[in-house]
Amino acid sequence: MRQRRLIAGATAFGLMTGAGALALPAASADEPAVLLTEDFEDGDFGPLSQNGGSALSIVDADGDKALLVQGRANDYDGFKTPANLLQAGGSYTFSAQVKLSAAAGTTTSARFVVEPAYTWVGNTSVSADAWTTVTGTFNAPAGASPAALRAYLGTGNLSAPYDYLVDDVVISGTGAPADGGAWQPTPDPAFVPGGATNPTTTPLAAARGTGNVAALTFDDGPNPGETTALLDFLKDKGITATFCVIGQNVTAPGGTELLRRIVAEGHTLCNHGTSYADMGSWTQAQVEADLKENLRIIRAAAGDSALQVPYFRAPNGSWGSTGEVASALGMQPLGLGKVISDWDGNDLSEATLTANLREAFSPGAVVLAHDGGGDRSNTVKAVATVVTEKIAEGWTFTLPQGGVADAPAGVTSDFETGTDGWTARGDGVQIAASSDAHSGTGSLLVTNRTQPWHGAALDVTVGMPVGTAVEISVWAKLAPGQSPASLKVSVQRDNGGGSAYDGVAGAGASVTADGWTQLRGTYTLGAAADKAQVYVEGPAGVSFLLDDFSLAAIVEKPIQTDVPGLKDVLGAGGIEHVGVAIDARETVGTAADLVRKHFNAFTPENAGKPESVQPVEGQFAFTQLDQLLDFADANDIQVYGHVLAWHSQTPAWFFKDGTRDLTNSAADQALLKARMEAHIRGIADHIDARYPNGDSPIWAWDVVNEVIADGDTANPHDMRDSRWFQVLGEGFVDEAFRLADRYFPNAALFINDYNTEMPEKRADYLELIGALKARSVPIDGVGHQAHVDVARPVQWLEDSIKAVEALDPKLLQAITELDVNSSTENQGADVSGAPADPYSPAFEDDADAAAEVGYYYRDLFAMLREHNASVDSVTFWGISNARTWLRTWPMARPWEQPLPFDDELQVTPAYWGIVDPSRLPARPADVLPPRIADQSDIRAVSNGASGVKVNYSLPSAIDTLDGPVQLTCTPAPGTRFPVGTTTVTCTATDRVGNTRTTSFDVIVTRKQAGRP
């Protein structure tokens, strides 16, 4: 005999005559007991029973008795263990001797398979040449039915039926854990679970849905060649699958790129361990370590520290304790389902694998094939053949059951029976049902709005999938009697005590009271939120109606991989940091792919601003910022921090003592300085703890932002009369830089402002910077926001860059918030006060506007490359035209195309203007008048009543095509101006006749009032 039985057949179980039940021996949770042993010496195979359609008989084999399985037609044909042998929560070891009864040299694979989840245990290669031990361990799920926990011996497919022999079947193990509890992973607050919703310990092996549906799963990749071809095929057919990836293949050459492509193209990931090792006999601690390490490898490669990996499949189908551990780590154990036997040792011809795959398809099947672990080229061919056939037959392809929850069917509101869960947003706001409907008979009326952010909101926390692009649409109409106004859709995300406010890309429009207007755009929730709300907002005082709201998942177009990365092109041109303003939306999905390809730096658009970081004094909220920093750290991207001290988006409590406004008294100044230090120190302490040893991804900070006013003020350097200035004076800038230098010693420290290219503001900005240098303030760099328009001369920005270089050539310079609008107006970037004049498009045709923006970028970056010795960084303010703030501020501007990537993240003429101007479209006809620099009012003093000659300097006038142009001002310089106010009108005309006119006042006063 190959192994003597320890307890014989039915006698070992005390088989009760006539009842067919088993009396199990007591099993300690600590001491495994032999529960079943069968060597077939008595000529009987009971209590084992037949499984499948094969014939079982006891035969002589190699001088011993053995069980012969004949007429095998299916992988499950053979024997099965009795019901109630295995108990929920127990741990078991299976063993059997197996030999094929076939021609010499024949090989296949054999394993125990445990129902009802069809869990593989001890998968092993067996042959016709010798007896092989098939053995492995199995942990029965807690709560499983003992009647359903039955094991059978399964064998791999061959090209034709074959017989096999079995001997010395032994099953030993324990009952449920003594305390009845489930195993728990090692406590680790930083660990991010796999993402499965309510995973079970029992492997699942059924596809979602009913009818002719199947779930395609691929193991052992990624593998350059086969995985690439497979992805090409799936993309062409519009099919997504589940890829069970192995860590060592992810880290192998080409593996990272393939993993990112798998994620980018919408496929689902499955953890398949760090190697091909059989985990069936591993301890729970060993399994935990391996699964966590493979999660780390996968997420690092994908550049997403919270990437969902919702499934786990045991290598070799050998489960042991892996199902229990995977479930506890947030991954659904994924059963093998229908295999096509495309691993080594089987017939791997294209014809056989094609036939096997056809056989594997049955309604609701999880189909297992391999894209790695060997030459799987014939698998790919079989998949292409059979899946194409199934598509023609009307089959659809889904995910396996378990894992992440199904994408929501969508959220809708038609207001036919009430408010549909919408609530008033803001104190005093009123919402009510209305019969003025876009469709049906009901809508929602929103009135009594006293702030722009007031409106109506809907909680979509449950309906908003993480990492999935959704389209949000709502129809809007102003209440009767309202003048046209711009409305937009936004999202509020709440996390860890802090809130973020995101515009829905594209969902803004000018709305009237005369008819319904659709607000429609896209949004991606980048990470789980404690609460997510969609809301509609607009100018204060405007009342509006809403109807037919919908939120539904969409499929995004992948990014273009065949174009050069901006970071590579500009890096070759000497610009070290190529950045983009982002929020959590751009850390997942297609947008994250674009960030990784084109940028080596980014600026947190809002997550680093004072109101986001410390909304309540002493209560810091870092969740939003941490999400971005972790993404940067995982992808080797640097971060330009924004912003430590700013007049806008800073909570009011900074400048109050209780309800009292702070003054410039010594006590109040000390209080505000202490708050400034506490804020900066709080950020630094958090980042240092999160990234010890100075390993933070932050390379620079905007220390102070927008401190120079656009016009004349009574303050030195025409500084903005902000609350910071009112309490601390000019010294608040010094204080902020000294604190930033103390707490961020390794970061470059920048001052930042908009309109720095405007000649008058340039002078004030340079004057302040010079004063800071004279006071030895630790300033490292000067930021130019460069929110410009197609008619604003590039030369003005170059003049500003040259002026900083002349002031101190050691100062770094950065273009911090670049976008180029194509409107007839450009009132600046002061978000604290919306311009009064309406905007309108400069071009009738959007294609012409896009082309002109491209030519502007051509000229701008040609200039910046010439100054690469000082210009260290360029940051685009938004990842795409859909995400630009210009589309909604200060009014709806749907024509704006200010960035290198369009609404679907595809390259625009702006991109080619930077990368390869030869690919720009033909330049449109010149419709842009010259730009005339703003001129402040001029004041003069007259000794007498006849006035005084005033030799004022002409403002700068430049055309973007023609360069400097002749400027005519009336009254001309040198004219005698009477006492009082005289308006000077200046006119500039370019070569094709485009004309612009501007004006300023000359104000003359008497030296001694009242004298003739």
List, by residue number, the catalytic residues: 706, 817
- Written as six digits, the tokens of 287 are 């399994």
User: Does residue 582 contact residue 879 with C-beta atoms inside 8 Å?
Assistant: yes
- Cα separation of 442 and 454, whole Å? 22
- Cα separation of 602 and 641, whole Å? 9
Q: Which of 805, 800, 852 is nearest to 824 (CA)?
A: 852
- Cα separation of 583 and 567, whole Å? 19
φ, ψ (nearest 5 deg) of residue 847: -65, -40
- Written as six digits, the tokens of 526 are 């980048």
User: Does residue 871 contact residue 813 with C-beta atoms inside 8 Å?
Assistant: yes
- Written as six digits, the tokens of 989 are 């005309």
Q: Convert 845-867 to b/e letters by CB count within 10 Å (16 or more is b).
A: eeebbbbbbbbbbbbbbeebeeb
Q: List C-alpha distances in Å: 267 to 248, 398, 892.
A: 20, 11, 36
Q: List C-alpha distances in Å: 354 to 243, 378, 748.
A: 20, 8, 61
The type of residue at 534 is: V
Please spell the DSSP secondary structure of 293-351, one letter per residue. HHHHHHHHHHT-TT----EE--GGG--BTHHHHHHHTT-EEB---EE---STTS---HH
Place of tokens 């009864």: 101
The type of residue at 164 is: Y
Residues β-bridged to residue 334: 204
Q: Which of 52, 82, 51, 78 is nearest to 67 (CA)?
A: 78
Kindly report the three-state secondary structure assignment for every residue of 233-287: HHHHHCCCCEEEECHHHHCCCCHHHHHHHHHHCCCEEEECCCCCCCCCCCCHHHH
- Cβ-based burial of 561 (10 A; exposed 0-12, middle 13-18, buried ≥19): exposed
- Cα separation of 916 and 507, whole Å? 32
- Cα separation of 347 and 360, whole Å? 16
Q: List C-alpha distances in Å: 985 to 947, 955, 999.
A: 19, 11, 4
Q: List C-alpha distances in Å: 70 to 39, 53, 56.
A: 18, 9, 7
Q: Which of 709, 856, 854, 708 is nearest to 789 (CA)?
A: 856
DSSP, res 574: T
User: In degrees, to the nearest 5, what angle opens at C-alpha 300 toward C-alphas 297 and 301?
Assistant: 85
User: Does residue 538 contact residue 544 with C-beta atoms inside 8 Å?
Assistant: yes
Place of tokens 């088993």: 22
- Written as six digits, the tokens of 112 are 């125990």
The type of residue at 686 is: H
